[in-house]
Chains A and B, each alone.
Chain A
Amino acid sequence: MSVLLVLVPVALGIVLLAVVAYVWSARSGQFDDLVTPALRPLLDERDTDVEPQRPPAE
């Protein structure tokens, strides 16, 4: 059972890493808009399948 003396701190260290990552992502604004980013990949796909058909106008 003395393995717990090692495993608990290791597990909590991993938790700490996850928490740090989460705090960083929340503070850098990744949870500010939860609707539009989900739509973007779908929109980009349509974009790429049309661009080759026509030279860019700009």
Chain B
Amino acid sequence: MTSATAPIEIGRTGDSGAVSCRHCGLPVPPGETFCCTGCATAHAIVNDLGLSAYYRFSERRGEEVRASGRAFAEFDHDSFTTTYVRDREDGLSEVELYLEHVHCPSCVWLVEKVSLTIPGVTAAELDIGRARARVVWDRSRTPLSAVARTLDTLGYIAHPFRGGRAEEARRAEDRAALVGIGVSGAIAGNVMMIALAIYAGWFGGIEREFERYFRWWSFLLTTPSLLWPGRVFFRSAWGALRRRSLHMDVPIALALGAAFVHGAVNTVRDAGPVYFDGVAALVFLLLVGRYLQQRAQRAAIDSSELLHSLAPATARVIEGAATREVPAEAVLPGWLVEVRAGDTLPADGIVESGDSSIDLSLLTGESRPVSIGAGDTVFAGTTNMSSPLRVRVTRSGESSRLGALMRDVADSARRRSPIVRLADRLAGRFILAVLTLATLAFVIWVWRDPAQAFDNAIAMLVVTCPCALALATPLTVTGAMGKAARGGILIRGGDALEILAGTGTIVLDKTGTVTEGRMALVGWRGSDDALSLLAALEKHSRHPLAAAIAAAETSTTRRLVTKVAETIGGGIQGRVDGRQVVAGTAEYIRTQLGEPSLAVPCALAGHTEVIVAIDGTIAGVASIGDPVRAGAAEVIASLQRSGWRVELLSGDRPDVVTAVGQSLGLSAEDARGGATPEAKRDRVRELARVGPVVMVGDGVNDAPAMAGATASIGVHGGAEACLRTSDVFLSRPGLEALGELVRGARRTMTLVRAGFLASIAYNVAGASLVLAGLIDPLIAAILMPASSLSVIFLAWKGPTFAAGEPGP
């Protein structure tokens, strides 16, 4: 930028100057149509295929297209085909692909339409919840790599979905659970209807033969409910007894079994109470609780499989002069592998020859490529960007850095939420109490009225069934997760909620988490008019600092800017509306004004100063820095009030971190700068020895620390792979969501405890009624569903998370 004679318009310019990218909708510099070449390419393809209707969706990507540019040659290889591709009966092939960066309804449309325009592709279906596309195509007409390359140009990077077989098994399990819930639900509804007729008969009078008729019907209906969907309780109780352990299913199976057998006997001999309605309702409610809990645990396992899918499928092994492709899992330490540009590294190793740059974003979230050469260590899962490399493998498969990360994630998925385990621990004491009470009821009633002794002992087993207890935790936790998700907080497991409800240390990353992660004008000392003149001038520079100042100017006054001259590393000057404006470093100003001894205001820590002189006198100082997010200080204060110690941990310069810490009310030792990813991890581990540590990061360099923390929280804007493995993902920018998360976690745990107390209170009440001889099937039928329903009501309607809740 040297000179400009035409008046410069500020803000939106003519028709070519779209302010937002035509493809992704992100803001672009005036005069540009696309934010990046990736978007321009994607736009051209979409238009060429006649799919421009895509741009009529109001909700589009909002994310720039980052194509990997890979060849996807491994997708056509035989070892890939045998592992991931299924041959269909009609001669076509089917594959399941995991697609990165799929997140909105319009993605469904684009992915499916674009795939279908490729000759040979007959079906493409995207499951947006799981980011998985099922593609059916004719292998003789089109290679799969062509499909993958097309999706790649649109920014959807394809990976073969691994664990397809486990997925098949899980899908079958899910369907079986749904069938069980449906069948038991239908039976429960009808048995309760019949029971209503019997109870109405007690009050309004019923002929003996009709009562018998209805009792037989409820017996006939309850039998399949217990034998088919309900058998899971007996199977799991039996398994626990064989292992000589106790869990919640033991008292449940005992109550269900005793009530059913007793009811069957009473139906046949046509006397005494029956509890069929209670049994049928319990089977249904318990199956629902079980299903919800299963789904919550599955979310964590899914995320580890996604990581698996991100690892490369094949490796090119060099043997003498030839290379041969082998599945990545088969690579052994000591082998020499070739990694072509655009390929993903199959194993950890040391570069033997070649100079290239490596994209580490999968491992560290660092978005800038890192240059490497012979002797450098490289890791599986990272992408070779520019030129071929020969790598001597040191660790492969499970023992590679990526493998270790995946194992960590899988381990944490297997670990059950401690509060759920608490329910199982209670089961032992519970069953003891139930059996003692039943014996007690029997003994008391043998002494008082032997005819009723057996009925009452059974009634005791039935009313003390811990179904409400078994429902309380999964329902509350699942309900809270659902509500949180609507507010943009994605929680992956119940234990994160429990940790967040306690106290400990919250470690915050600075850049991108506490701050906005971009340069902006954070302070201005001078008149508004001077700032306006400065901004008009800075619009002519491409320097990041200039862009920050230009972005701060909101007025639409048109100013005539002429005679612009810029010195790299110094500053800029020009005539704005006829006035001479000089802006830059102190040294630049002194030189330009010709006053070597001129005193200029000094800089604040952590900010870069731009000094402005207008017509030869200093008119203002602009401070430019990475601004702290609005509301961050309030959120940190509220976290501290609720008992958390907050620490800032950053790779940025220590003085900058201290300054940011001060503005947030944190002392110098709670704001640590200059920390490498390893140092962050070590610090988090050190803190974890003392108490729970929650690491909050945006994936950039925080991945090791997040893996080492008791619970990890990923914030909006980071690397997708890292965020998907964190316990909680905040999909809204800013820290408000963090405050909301901690408050919501606290309320959820209070609710879980309330549910526990409520169900125990019901059981105590039921047991007292039996001992007093006041129980009959009607009271049991009201008491049992009432306890379950009140726990369900508490779990769904109780205060946990509120969508769009205002700050503290």
Contacts and interface: CB of A to CB of B under 8 A. Distances in A.
B105 A42 contact: yes
Given A29-B175, A58-B119, A5 B49 contact: no
B668 interface: no
B29 interface: no
B355 to A, nearest CB: 42
A19 B179 CA distance: 9
B276 to A, nearest CB: 14
A26 B186 contact: no
Contacts of B174: 32
Contact of A36 (B129, B190, B210): B129
A49 B53 CA distance: 9
B139 interface: no
A40 B109 CA distance: 8
A15 B183 CA distance: 10
A15 B190 contact: yes
Contact of B126 (A27, A36, A54, A58): A36
Contact of A46 (B56, B128, B175, B182): B56
Given A23-B183, A26-B179, A57-B48, A4 B108 contact: no
A19 B182 contact: yes
Contacts of B125: 36
Contact of B221 (A12, A31, A36): A12
Given A15-B186, A15-B190, A36-B128, A31 B175 contact: yes
A46 B57 contact: yes
Given A4-B210, A12-B190, A27-B175, A40 B108 contact: yes
Contact of A1 (B49, B57, B210): B210
B114 to A, nearest CB: 11
A53 to B, nearest CB: 9
B676 to A, nearest CB: 40
A29 B179 CA distance: 11
Interface in A1-19: 1, 4-5, 8, 11-12, 15, 18-19
A23 B182 contact: yes
Candidate in A15, A18, A49 with the most chain B CB atoms within 10 angstroms: A15
B202 interface: no
B757 to A, nearest CB: 34
Given A31-B175, A58-B119, A46 B109 contact: yes
Candidate in A26, A27, A33, A57 with the most chain B CB atoms within 10 angstroms: A26
A49 B207 CA distance: 66
B678 interface: no
Contacts of A1: 207, 210
A43 B60 CA distance: 13
B117 interface: yes
B217 A33 contact: no
B105 A39 contact: yes
B178 A26 contact: yes
A35 B178 CA distance: 17
Contacts of A40: 108
B185 to A, nearest CB: 9
Given A8-B217, A19-B183, A43-B108, A33 B190 contact: no
Contacts of B525: none
B617 to A, nearest CB: 60
Interface residues of B, number: 35
A26 B178 CA distance: 7
A58 B186 contact: no
A43 B105 contact: yes
A11 B171 CA distance: 33
A22 to B, nearest CB: 5
B378 to A, nearest CB: 38
Nearest to B221: A12
Contacts of A55: 50
Nearest to A57: B50
Nearest to A28: B175
Nearest to B171: A32
A39 B56 CA distance: 15
B192 to A, nearest CB: 13
A51 B49 CA distance: 11
A35 B129 contact: yes
Interface in B207-221: 207, 210, 213, 217, 221
A50 B57 CA distance: 13
B108 A36 contact: yes
B127 interface: yes
A24 B182 CA distance: 11
Contacts of B175: 26-27, 29, 31-32
B52 interface: yes
Contacts of A32: 171, 174-175
A18 B150 CA distance: 44
Given A8-B217, A57-B48, A57-B117, A36 B127 contact: yes
Given A26-B182, A46-B109, A57-B49, A4 B213 contact: yes
Given A31-B175, A32-B174, A36-B128, A22 B52 contact: no
Interface string B186-218: 100010001000000000000100100100010
Interface string B106-120: 101100010001010
Given A43-B108, A57-B117, A29 B53 contact: no
Interface string B53-86: 1001100000000000000000000000000000
A27 B179 contact: yes
B171 A29 contact: yes
Nearest to B49: A57
Contacts of A15: 186, 190
B207 A33 contact: no
A46 B113 CA distance: 12
A31 B57 CA distance: 27
Interface of B: 48-50, 52-53, 56-57, 105-106, 108-109, 113, 117, 119, 125-130, 171, 174-175, 178-179, 182-183, 186, 190, 194, 207, 210, 213, 217, 221
Interface of A: 1, 4-5, 8, 11-12, 15, 18-19, 22-23, 26-27, 29, 31-36, 39-40, 42-43, 46-47, 49-51, 54-58
Report the 10 A-B pairs with minimum CB-CB distance, sorted nearest first: A50-B53, A43-B109, A26-B178, A35-B129, A39-B105, A22-B182, A57-B50, A33-B127, A54-B50, A26-B179
Given A4-B210, A51-B50, 16 more contacts: A4-B213, A5-B213, A12-B190, A15-B186, A18-B186, A19-B183, A26-B178, A33-B130, A35-B128, A35-B129, A39-B105, A49-B53, A50-B53, A54-B50, A57-B48, A58-B49
